[in-house]
Amino acid sequence: MKPGVPDDAATEAIRIAQVHRVTSSAIRPDTDLLARECAVALEFNGVSHAVMLATPLDLSDFALGFAVSEGIIDRAEQCYGIEMHEGDEGWTARIEISASCFARLKQSRRNLTGRTGCGLCGVESLTHVFRTLPDLREAGALLDPASINHALSELASHQAIGAATGATHAAAWADPRGNIRIVREDVGRHNALDKLIGAGLRANSAGWRDGFLIITSRASMEMVQKCAMAGFGTLIALSAPTDLAVRLAQEHGICLVGFATPGRWTVYSHPQRLAGLPTDHASVNATAQISQRG
């Protein structure tokens, strides 16, 4: 295995493949590391709800995070238990939720087919695209831009599977000082964020929502929705946001940052969450480019 890959992660999330390395002067046999991808069926109170394609690691976190970020349950206490079962064709997560949440789920039935890309596959009508989101203008702590730079500088060192395979996204939770506390990886960017949300809720960490989230992908509308459903006021993306993601962030009080690298990033909405930044909306609409020293 490549250096820096923990044994448990390597066993569950990485496979060795026989390959041939081709250069202009030679062809030689070699091995490579691949991120595993498998089907994960999610059942709520015995009823099949979705089949996802995911990296088979931290699947209990994934199940809980999915239930919260998709609005199936409102809080972790409404999940009474999660049992993971491995079969020949993949994994099944058997999730027990409260009767009231299950009744709501049946009423607003969705049939999702596994995804690693777009997040709306299987939505039955346009009315299901936009769900009711909380207003997060008062959520979370005022953040020092230096804290964001610190977290961005440390993120790569927490991506063991990505470093080994080059095939996974990561989602991270950092505290208000920029210390990365939890990281989850997956072949799907949505899955990585769901795993992170589930892990944070299961850990019941103090000050959980005072920190901020970092994703290694673009910030799509659904990634902003998941951030909002988890109650976070700041989302940092290493890549670009979409226009709909920016609109949702503006409407629901989320500070959305894109193109984030240490010392340089772009703030798209609610800069007042960051110490020292202007608070007028004109600066947001102009997409201010921000450079800070960590």
Residues serving a catalytic function are 118
- Contact by Cβ (8 Å): 143, 163: no
H/E segment holding residue 52: strand 47-54
- Contact by Cβ (8 Å): 83, 59: no
Alpha carbons 101 and 286: distance in angstroms, whole number: 42
Sign of torsion, CA 49 162 208 237?
Answer: negative
DSSP at 240: P
Q: Which amino acid is at 90?
A: G
Residue with tokens 């595993």: 36
How far, CA to CA in Å, does 250 sit from each of 24, 26, 43, 285?
51, 54, 34, 10
Classified as helix, coil or strand, 101 is helix
The sheet carrying 79-87 orders its strands as 79-87, 90-97, 38-44, 47-54, 112-113
Alpha carbons 111 and 134: distance in angstroms, whole number: 24
